[in-house]
Structure 1
């Protein structure tokens, strides 16, 4: 069978040296929609090297890696890309990401879950530089048709939305070319660019990277509730509940739960608020 869970879990962690600079950070920020309006001082924090800070979700592309595509090519894994969807993502920050730097990135399959008709892989990446740990990133990869091997089903807890109106709601337009720009940060899965490949995967046109909507959402939270202070983010987790098509509008609803966390829901406006991101939580560093 294409997934050998025991072999995948027993494989030695893979380490690689990664590096990034201000240009990589700027390209990522542009890929998630930063820079509009181009001269807005708040947007220049994402686009102008003399004012640059790093959105924590940059951890998912730092080093120009292959993203989800590179993570599913290890021992015990022989997977058709057309069967793969990104199911969820968590990033834990150990300290703010520098504008430029280098680190050792260590990756491994942390878990393999059997969902019956599908398998879920948890791909864990830890990055550390000379000063210590930088971030830990867990990608949950949904592989259709690869379940039924008798493994654990894994966690399935859902985060209920608050029974009140959101504290803030922001609409963010997804440009028609957004997936084409975002993929330049490293995830070249043809699902996001090639109409023929998208059709083979069951979509009538290419879809936006889940991690692009993930980044767009975190930027909205940082800009709307945190005064643009990226250092306030301790961790950020989500479940990808539905696809986004370039040209659509994301509606991002935010609930400030207390000083330490923000709960978020993201939907697609043009498809009657179809779910995009669910079980989404940003935990914060408390200020004195």
Structure 2
């Protein structure tokens, strides 16, 4: 069996030092579409080192840029075909704002393994702390097609009710043809996002955009639109990746605000509003 759930859950956590600086932050921001218009004062906070702040979703690539999807596939008890791997969801919890320059200790472990019958889900937890204490916790849900069926725990089934009524705000964000090629420079070199032949082996007509790129683009839209462009207000951010995005498409981002949170739904305009991100919530101060 490619996945040994007991072995994966019992494995010792992996720890290591990570560090990042302004160039890493700027590259990530450019990878999620920041900097347009290039001289806009609001965009310069994402691109100019003298004004730089850090969008919290940078946590998914901080340090060496090794995201949960790739790290989880090298943990003990896990041996799968990369072409069968999809990123199922992401939950980020911020313990305090992320500094522009930092050195921290990252601890990775498999927090859960779920048997969905025809697929399996790994939950890889990454906890990051520096000398001043915890910075963030990342949970990556990794969907492995064809790897279930051993009779294990199916995991939680409950999902949040969809938001009701018309959204408070709706924005559109175009995705450049080269967006995936730029985003992958932050560390996720899965050929699914660049190599047409590999994408075909995985069942796609052409390379798809990284789910975490859509994730970052969406958080930026929420922060800029409803949180006064204040990145420090974000407390947590969770989503389920409901569908693929192709470079060159346009994201439609709908937002519903309630006290302390923003519910979000994201779709691809060119494919009749095909779902992209679902069950998405930004908790904020």
Alignment TM-score, normalising by the size of structure 1 = 0.98
The residue number in structure 2 matching 1:161 is 162
> Is the aligned partner of 1:277 residue 2:277?
yes
Structure 2 Cα separation of the partners of residues 162 and 119 of structure 1:
28
Gaps of 5+ in 2: none
Taking the TM superposition and a 5 Å limit, the aligned residue runs for 1:1-288 are 1-67=1-67, 68-258=69-259, 260-285=260-285
* 1:70 to partner: Cα distance: 2.4
Deviations 1:142-191 (A, max 9, x none): 00000001111111222222221000000000000000000000000000
Structure 2 Cα separation of the partners of residues 37 and 107 of structure 1:
38
Q: Tell me, yes or no, if the aligned pair for 1:166 and 1:253 is still in contact at 8 Å.
A: yes
Q: Secondary structure at the match of 2:204?
A: coil
Deviations 1:236-270 (A, max 9, x none): 00000000000000000000022x10000000000
Q: Secondary structure at the match of 1:212?
A: helix
* 1:121 to partner: Cα distance: 0.1
Structure 2 Cα separation of the partners of residues 279 and 72 of structure 1:
25
Q: Secondary structure at the match of 1:27?
A: helix
Q: Secondary structure at the match of 1:244?
A: coil
Structure 2 Cα separation of the partners of residues 76 and 112 of structure 1:
11
Structure 1 Cα separation of the partners of residues 104 and 221 of structure 2:
28
Structure 1 Cα separation of the partners of residues 17 and 10 of structure 2:
22
Structure 2 Cα separation of the partners of residues 84 and 102 of structure 1:
30
Q: Tell me, yes or no, if the aligned pair for 1:66 and 1:188 is still in contact at 8 Å.
A: no
* 1:3 to partner: Cα distance: 0.4
* 1:87 to partner: Cα distance: 0.1
Count of matched residue positions in the alignment of Structure 1 and Structure 2:
284
Deviations 1:31-81 (A, max 9, x none): 000000000000000000000000000000000232111221110011110
Structure 2 Cα separation of the partners of residues 226 and 47 of structure 1:
19
Gaps of 5+ in 1: none
Deviations 1:186-223 (A, max 9, x none): 00000000000000000000000000000000000000
Q: Tell me, yes or no, if the aligned pair for 1:46 and 1:52 is still in contact at 8 Å.
A: yes
